[in-house]
């Protein structure tokens, strides 16, 4: 079985977390996880192909934002809420709150 690396709580870097959160697709994924607690990749409805979604999941995992639990052929994603809260208090809440109230588009319109 494949080993998925998750950074230790103490090794989670602020700039990496902020970078992971700076993509509209990834923000959407987090919002979904926040609503459901846990989701498989296949149950997240984003306008990108599987391989791209896999890339985003990896980016979030390696930044320490999400945890990935392997079960059969599926991977369940969930937010590392407690780790993030203890390392960066209030950060995730304010980001997700901002996201919910700001109508962030998932696809940037050309002007």
Show the site string, 39-78: x = touches DNA by CB under 7 A, - = not.
Answer: -xxxx---xxxxxxxxxxxxx--------x---xxxx---
- Give whichever of 43 and 104 is closer to a second copy, judged by the CB atom: 104
Contact 30, 78 (CB under 8 A): no
- Which residues lie closer than 8 Å to 72 by C-beta, 6 or more apart? none
- Let me know if 107 is exposed, middle or buried by CB neighbors in 10 A (0-12, 13-18, 19+): exposed
Q: 35 touches which of a second copy, DNA, none (CB within 5 to 8 A by kind)?
A: none
Q: Given phi > 0 = left and psi -120 to 50 = alpha, else beta, which region is 37?
A: left
Residues that bind a second copy (CB under 8 A): 13-16, 18-19, 21-24, 27, 87-91, 93-95, 97-99, 102, 104
Residues that bind DNA (CB under 7 A): 1-2, 19, 23, 25, 40-43, 47-59, 68, 72-75
């Amino acid at each position: 079985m494949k080993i998925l690396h998750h950074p230790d709580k103490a090794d989670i870097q602020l700039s990496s977390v902020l970078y992971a959160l700076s993509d509209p697709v990834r923000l959407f994924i987090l919002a979904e996880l926040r609503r459901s607690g846990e989701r498989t990749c296949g149950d997240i409805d984003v306008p990108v192909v599987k391989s791209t979604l896999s890339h985003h999941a990896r980016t979030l995992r390696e930044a320490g934002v999400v945890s990935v639990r392997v079960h059969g052929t599926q991977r369940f994603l969930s937010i590392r809420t407690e780790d993030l809260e203890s390392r960066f208090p209030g950060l995730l809440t304010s980001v997700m709150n901002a996201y919910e109230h700001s109508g962030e588009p998932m696809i940037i319109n050309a002007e």
